[in-house]
Chain A
């Protein structure tokens, strides 16, 4: 059975008042609400239903917050505001805070092992080529029947040998 238009209109006006806490409505509003609820089963039902869930959202969220481990929260905040890490601040929290505050240095720190590795590779790959002869040393670079070339500190010396071995 549908309600008369006037009553439905009053429901629309009154229903939002159902969420009011004590002292939030004017005396006039309180009077209108009370009067309406006496004659409106639907709004009375809504009022009861809303009362059942009143405060549950707050309770659920605060319960969730209470369940969560907040131990690192304050240390992370303190590190971020640069108020100096506490003794009890975790090493990880401090490292994170430092990394946030010194992004460039943190990047270099991360890249440092890679760069060091690259430097070692370059060094050892270079060391595989034979070192140049030291000054004063003599190196035979060709021998046999062909002319012998001696690398000396003064430069290459070509020895023209005969077939007799001289």
Chain B
């Protein structure tokens, strides 16, 4: 029985692109600026996407995303790794985006629509079915639809936008949404349903 080589690589020797978040965080905490840079590059687009979904304005979303990473850098020594680094960054970005919305809302208050029974009857029919195919025509329609989605997203209440973005960009579960938004699971389900229904109705309007 021959010897089996075990490769215990020094974390510092692992190329940045290969290193996982934990290794990069460890190196960044030790003052390795390149490791922090790699973390930013890895998560920047997703943080930006969440911010964009919430604040709607691309330049504002850019600033929010940058501020998120600046805060992350400031608080990196306190990061204990109880949650994934990505989750932590996204949470900071999300909260900063919400702060921006709150400041905006102080001027014009935006109410969250309550659950309305008649909403159930307002569901648009399956007019988007043609947009889910793969033919060139359908592909073009889909691209157009993706552009329309941002317009539709801007039209729904901030709380609906928020939950939809967290669900679809971050991929949070009901439980994670409840924890992040500090609302009961039942409220998560209800809010998410109405958010998706409004989006669906708005997109159906575009498609028609």
**Interchain CB contact under 8 A, B66 and A53:** no
**Minimal beta-carbon separation of A82 from chain B (angstroms):** 9
**Minimal beta-carbon separation of A143 from chain B (angstroms):** 77
**Interchain CB contact under 8 A, A52 and B120:** no
**Interchain CB contact under 8 A, B168 and A58:** yes
Scan B34-78; emit 1 where CB is below 8 A from any A CB, else 0: 001100110011101110110000100010011001100110000
Given contacts A57-B153, A60-B146, contact A49 B200 (CB under 8 A): yes
**Interchain CB contact under 8 A, A73 and B66:** yes
**Interchain CB contact under 8 A, B49 and A49:** no
**Interchain CB contact under 8 A, A78 and B33:** yes
> Is A21 interfacial (CB 8 A cutoff)?
yes
Chain B residue contacts of A48, Cβ below 8 A? 126
Chain A residue contacts of B158, Cβ below 8 A? none
**Interchain CB contact under 8 A, A81 and B62:** no
**Interchain CB contact under 8 A, B121 and A70:** no
Given contacts A56-B145, A61-B52, A81-B70, contact A19 B192 (CB under 8 A): yes
* Interface footprint category on B: 35 or more
CB contacts under 8 Å to A, within B16-42, are 33, 36-37, 40-41
> In the complex, A57 Cα to B150 Cα: how many Å?
8
**Interchain CB contact under 8 A, B165 and A74:** no
B165 is contacted by which of A52, A56, A57 (Cβ under 8 Å)?
A57
CB contacts under 8 Å to A, within B98-140, are 115, 117, 120-121, 123-126, 128-129, 131-132
> Is A107 interfacial (CB 8 A cutoff)?
no
> In the complex, A17 Cα to B185 Cα: how many Å?
11
**Interchain CB contact under 8 A, A60 and B149:** yes
**Minimal beta-carbon separation of A72 from chain B (angstroms):** 10
B197 is contacted by which of A42, A46, A55, A56 (Cβ under 8 Å)?
A46
Chain B residue contacts of A15, Cβ below 8 A? 120, 193
Given contacts A12-B117, A68-B58, contact A74 B37 (CB under 8 A): yes
Which residue on chain A has the smallest CB distance to residue B122? A46
**Minimal beta-carbon separation of A166 from chain B (angstroms):** 90
A53 is contacted by which of B44, B169, B189, B199 (Cβ under 8 Å)?
B199
> Is A104 interfacial (CB 8 A cutoff)?
no
> Is A20 interfacial (CB 8 A cutoff)?
yes
> Is B174 interfacial (CB 8 A cutoff)?
yes
Chain A residue contacts of B40, Cβ below 8 A? 73-74, 77-78
> Is B173 interfacial (CB 8 A cutoff)?
yes
Top 7 nearest A-B pairs (CB, nearest first) are A58-B168, A16-B189, A83-B33, A60-B149, A61-B49, A65-B45, A16-B193
CB-defined A-B contacts under 8 Å, sample of 19: A12-B117, A16-B192, A43-B120, A45-B123, A49-B124, A56-B145, A56-B168, A58-B168, A60-B153, A61-B50, A62-B49, A64-B52, A65-B52, A70-B48, A73-B44, A73-B62, A74-B37, A77-B70, A78-B36
